[in-house]
Structure 1
């Protein structure tokens, strides 16, 4: 059995964590595709490499995990081990998110963030209703939108 305290094992475990094509992202993608919307995935030319890009509406959607992006909901808890590491890592993620959203808005893109807690957990929203709101936002001219658990 691998030693979880071994740096090489930790590195392999971290590498196994998906940054794209996650379950929440796939749920949102399927719902938006079923609604007739077509999009590009993970466009590298845009700040933050948004999960979904809708060039026709000049809109992007980020599907954020509550833990990785430090959301203030019941799904986020600071790890009890290696606190300095996690605070630095998650803090960098939040800084990168803020920088990317600011750059996108400044260049005329509209930005929506769908939080994991909107899709799972005790505060999850009614999924079809949440996706209808997101579809309406994509087709609107509103600058930004956040979909979070209730």
Structure 2
């Protein structure tokens, strides 16, 4: 299917997509802050610059966009144009994610990945359930947690 907007408009639209302070990230941050958790944001000294860092718990949370990180859910669909570019881009994102996770694990940081599909779309989890799951995880010594939408 051909793109419905001009390349110039598409470029402007894509450049407006943020890498941090996204809506799903803000939802998770606000929910955890309301429960009394305090954290740092986007610590550039840690591999992958985690979205939310809890030094007290030696834990980090990544809030991944399903498209940008190639999650296999209803929110991800391979683009039908410029397929080589997108395949390379998304595969590279996944490689960077894997490397960052490995380095964090080596440094004994606990990690949680919250997928966008857990926060929005037809498979989303109830917000209270999502935040409660993150909060429970923070107070345990479980090393890894992945939270995704119901369909996945």
TM-score by length of 1: 0.93
Q: How far apart are residue 126 of structure 1 and its match? A: 1.4
The DSSP-based 3-state class of the residue aligned with 1:60 is strand
Partner deviation per Cα, 1:2-30 (whole Å, 9 max, x = no partner): x8335xx6554432210000000000000
The DSSP-based 3-state class of the residue aligned with 1:142 is coil
Match in the other structure for 2:54: 54
Q: What pairs up with 1:1-150 in 2 under 5 angstroms?
A: 4-5=6-7, 11-150=11-150
5 and 122 in structure 1: CA distance in 2 versus 1, 3 angstrom threshold: same
Find the aligned partners of 1:103 and 1:66 in 2 and give their Cα distance. Answer: 22
Find the aligned partners of 2:6 and 2:84 in 1 and give their Cα distance. Answer: 18
Find the aligned partners of 2:121 and 2:91 in 1 and give their Cα distance. Answer: 23
After superposition, the CA RMSD in angstroms is 1.3
Find the aligned partners of 1:25 and 1:45 in 2 and give their Cα distance. Answer: 20
- Give structure 2 stretches of 5+ with no counterpart: none
The DSSP-based 3-state class of the residue aligned with 1:61 is strand
Partner deviation per Cα, 1:41-84 (whole Å, 9 max, x = no partner): 00000000000000000000000000000001000000111101
The aligned length equals 146
TM-score by length of 2: 0.92
Find the aligned partners of 2:109 and 2:139 in 1 and give their Cα distance. Answer: 13
Q: How far apart are residue 139 of structure 1 and its match? A: 1.3
